[in-house]
Structure 1
Amino acid sequence: MSASDKIENAAEDLKGKATEAVGRATNDDSKIAEGKAEQSKASVKKAGENVKDAFKH
């Protein structure tokens, strides 16, 4: 996984956490779900990159 991919995935994860926190603070279920979806998307990307890295070695 390249450094830029790691940074992008971390940023997406942080954005999701922030969105989820705003949703919890405002009691907005759609924001909570949106934040969790962003975090999940970042996790899937990270897992995919890890698989690619495993096959490169």
Structure 2
Amino acid sequence: MSDVESLAWNPHSEHSSVVSLEDGTMKGFDIRAAQSGLDSDLRPSFTIQAHDQD
């Protein structure tokens, strides 16, 4: 688990966002894949290792 550095919504798709984490990864999410409930687990659509953690 890493802290979020930034989050951006895709201006071309109202359902998609990308999150960059302090461990150097970027994860894309599609909110349509989310399930209701507080304990639901939203898995990323993709993960990219952008850089090594410093």
When the two structures are superposed, what TM-score results if normalisation uses the length of structure 2? 0.25
Q: Report the structure, 1 or 2, having the larger strand content.
A: 2
Larger radius of gyration: 1
When the two structures are superposed, what TM-score results if normalisation uses the length of structure 1? 0.24
Bigger relative contact order (CA 8 A; separation at least 6): 1
Q: Report the structure, 1 or 2, having the larger helix content.
A: 1
